[in-house]
Chain A
């Protein structure tokens, strides 16, 4: 069964803290994505990666960075968390040449106080 696993379902952090969100997929997918999901808005792409050590900015990269040292793992980093980064973060993966069907993790709900 295909699986995308996110390291933490719920996190509470303080303003200014560094936050790591990790995502691991076991499907040998080339593509990996980080989205945030907020009420009343569609999913917004933060960063994506087509290959190891490769990253591309999405629509809202400010305040975030990513790391992809291994094919199966894609990490999202908030260098200095702010309250407006309180959100649900979704990781997804897909094959490079497929229709683009995404497989999502369960999500990480981050609250920044």
Chain B
């Protein structure tokens, strides 16, 4: 079967660093996405990884290891506005996205 796992909830402190993990088991792999979704709002695109390694974009970085079926999203210098759910999604053989349930990130002052 196809499966995407990520923690349900994480808590971190303003100004700190947090790493949100995502593991996947899919029949095929054609890329991995991270989206951010604030409560009551639409998901918005954060990153896309198709090759192994780290992609850095400002305070956010995303890492992929295809051999391990593993990705993480790294958020640095956390701000209160980073409180949101973070969704991991894998593009499968039909080029459709399989979604994890999301990780709710709570930032405390």
Contact = CB atoms under 8 A, between A and B. Distances in A.
Contacts of A106: 41-42
B33 A100 contact: yes
B93 interface: no
Nearest to A9: B40
Interface residues of B, number: 24
B27 interface: no
A65 B91 CA distance: 24
Contacts, number: 50
A101 interface: yes
A58 interface: yes
B33 A58 contact: no
Interface residues of A, number: 19
Interface stretch (B57-65, B66-74, B99-107): B99-107
A42 to B, nearest CB: 3
A103 B99 CA distance: 15
Contacts of A41: 101
Given A99-B48, A100-B91, A101-B33, A43 B99 contact: yes
Contacts of B42: 4, 90, 104-107
Interface of A: 4, 40-45, 48, 58, 90, 99-107
